[in-house]
Amino acid sequence: MTAFVVFTLIHAFLLISLSYCRVHTQHNANPLSEEDPSIGFAELNEFENVFELGSKPINLVEVNEWPRDKSLNALRQVAGVAATNHSKVYVFHRGDRAWDNNTFDYFDVYQQRDKGPIDQNTILILNSSNGDLIESWGKNMFYMPHGISLDPEGNVWVTDVALHQVFRFKKGIWDKPDLVLGQAFVPGNDHKHFCKPTDVAISSSGIVYISDGYCNSRIVILDANGQVLREIGTTDNLVVPHSLTLLENEDLICVADREQRRVMCYTAGLSNMQPGTLVFKIPFAGPLYAIDRIGYILFGIIGPTPFQKPIGIAEALATEQILGTWEPKSGFSMPHDLSVSQKERAVYVTEIGKDALKKLYKFKF
């Protein structure tokens, strides 16, 4: 079956499923978990007035008083965020470190090992309603934090671009990772190494997808035990695959190909299809830093260029129709990551820009 035929069939399926969601009223009886940030298609009916495809816009409004603890705005570079449906928001920040021109050499080797790991709790768990700190951890573990994700069991996955590694922490056991992927401080492109890995997405069956990364051009697929199964995207000239979102019911894994200014969606290999077939791609007007989704609605963050300011965007996956754009009143500086919460009907955005008035934003829709 050619890639074109696969695209045609899945694109048609997306449109049919969207129509189905508008009239179907029975909720999913077996959600993946209360920590799972995804939403099933049957659950889209409760968002019908907002997400009716092609007819109504999505309006996102900044929650000015979030976070209530204003000391959080003093954080330097907030690299990652992961919202859950359990009233929590996980934040991954870089403490006193900043990624600049002196951080890596020409061969992508980290140049500041002598500073040691960050002597601060780099992972913050916040109350999603007001942004108050619930818990913090991660001191003396990381050198240059990047992405943070939660799997359906509530385990936390993070990437560190200085270490060239990916870590998994079992839910509630934060003192030591139970799985470490990659070799510390050693960049590479084989099955034992990563090169500045950026993000992780995890299926309900435990299949792991890692976007790798700033100096590789691939998505690595692993089993639940961390064994590499396959690489995908290697022939598509990905330039900084920066963020992932998994559409499990459609068997799609989508990546924000940052510097190519596009989303690339591949078969994920969770059903009978082989992983890695390019199903569709969506162009964007600027570098695409982060993506997340609810149902078939894609939320993204477009970074700044010399010709345009950074902005958030909401787009229909099936039709590529732009449903809305959004930004804080003060404007973004250098937004880096976002995460969408179904329960809160909210989008959370992090900042790494030194001139940003806030480092954490919440938008309601």
| Cα(34)–Cα(87) distance, integer angstroms | 10
Whether residue 94 is annotated as binding a ligand: the answer is yes
Q: Hunting for tokens 């401080």 — which residue is that? A: 185
Mean pLDDT by 10 residues, the chain (365 residues): 46 40 28 29 37 65 96 95 95 97 97 98 98 98 99 98 99 98 98 98 98 98 96 98 97 98 98 92 97 95 96 93 95 98 94 94 97
For 280-334, how does the pLDDT look when each residue is reduced to its tens digit (9 = 90+)? 999 999 999 999 999 899 999 999 999 999 999 999 988 899 999 999 999 999 9
Beta strand 252-257 pairing with 241-247: antiparallel
262: containing domain? 3-364
24 known member of a binding site: no
Task: Please tell me the distance from the alpha carbon of residue 158 to that of residue 209, in angstroms, as a whole number.
Answer: 12
Assign residue 76 the CATH number of its domain. 2.120.10.30
Residue 214, annotated as binding a ligand: yes
* pLDDT in the model for residue 57: 87
Residue 318: per-residue pLDDT: 84
Please tell me whether 242 is known to bind a ligand.
yes
Check the annotation: does 257 bind a ligand: no
146 assigned ligand-binding residue? yes
| pTM score | 0.86
Q: How many domains does the chain have?
A: 1
pLDDT tens string 76-122: 999 999 999 889 999 999 999 999 999 999 999 999 999 999 999 99
Q: Is 63 annotated as a binding residue?
A: no
- Is there a binding annotation on residue 164? no
> Which residue, among 258, 173, 174, 253, has the nearest Cα to 215 in the 3D structure?
258
